[in-house]
């Protein structure tokens, strides 16, 4: 079982599955906590550990934190990097393999090219048959991004099983988009 996470301070996308059937995807929505890093850390840890207990993943893949502008406040930086650190710590304690993946690599895994936009990621996830949250506010794009991380994890853990999902993505003309 593979659990993939699109880490964020408000909408954290997740996708889970073993490749034998369409993975599940969704989004954890965190309340605004201002500079209270502890509140976010506790909420995230509770949700992460619940997902680990529920799905028993052997691999967790998470998107590397990125800063979207030079105006990112120190608290945002600390939160984003803290989510990655917390993921690594939980996995280490529980003996679960954990891999960090760059955004461009995740985009390439799902949409076929590193410059894919959010609409491309949503389209590709839906092409796989993954049910996503219905709106952006409910985590549509975040869940779609996590599907890319899941597919990347599946290619690492079980390349033969990943072939099945690649055949769903790529048409006979050889390209998704």
Domain ranges of the chain: 2-169
Q: What is the pLDDT of residue 69?
A: 60
Q: What is the pLDDT of residue 150?
A: 96
Q: What is the pLDDT of residue 174?
A: 44
Cβ–Cβ under 8 Å, residues 122 and 177: no
Q: What is the pLDDT of residue 173?
A: 47
Q: What is the pLDDT of residue 136?
A: 96
Whole-angstrom distance, CA of residue 153 vs CA of residue 147: 10
pTM above 0.85, yes or no: yes
Cβ–Cβ under 8 Å, residues 80 and 10: no
| Longest pairwise C-alpha distance within the chain | 51
From first to last of its 177 residues, what are the pLDDT tens digits of the chain?
999 999 998 999 999 999 999 999 999 999 988 888 889 999 999 999 999 999 999 999 999 887 666 565 777 778 888 899 999 999 999 999 999 998 899 898 888 888 899 999 999 999 999 999 999 999 999 999 999 999 999 999 998 888 889 888 886 544 444
User: Which among 44, 49, 53, 55 is positioned nearest to 17, based on CA atoms?
Assistant: 55
Of 1.10.580.10, 3.30.420.10, 3.90.1170.50, 1.10.3720.10, which CATH number belongs to 2-169?
3.30.420.10
Strand order in the sheet with 11-17: 24-29, 11-17, 2-6, 59-63, 97-101
User: Which among 64, 142, 152 is positioned nearest to 108, based on CA atoms?
Assistant: 152
């Amino acid at each position: 079982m593979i659990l993939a996470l699109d880490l964020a301070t408000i909408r954290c996308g997740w996708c889970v599955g073993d490749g034998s059937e369409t993975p599940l995807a969704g989004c954890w929505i965190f309340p605004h906590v201002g500079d209270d890093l502890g509140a976010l850390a506790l909420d995230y840890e509770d949700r992460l550990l619940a997902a680990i207990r529920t799905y028993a993943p052997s691999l967790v893949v998470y998107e590397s934190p990125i800063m979207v502008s030079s105006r990112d406040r120190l608290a945002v930086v600390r939160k984003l990097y803290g989510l990655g650190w917390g993921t690594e710590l939980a996995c280490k304690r529980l003996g679960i393999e954990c891999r960090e993946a760059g955004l461009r690599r995740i985009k390439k895994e799902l949409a076929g090219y590193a410059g894919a936009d959010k609409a491309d990621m949503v389209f590709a996830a839906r092409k796989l048959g993954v049910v996503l949250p219905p709106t952006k506010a409910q985590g549509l794009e975040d869940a779609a991004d996590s599907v890319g991380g899941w597919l990347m994890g599946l290619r690492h853990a079980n390349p033969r099983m990943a072939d099945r999902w690649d055949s769903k993505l790529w048409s006979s003309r050889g390209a998704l988009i």
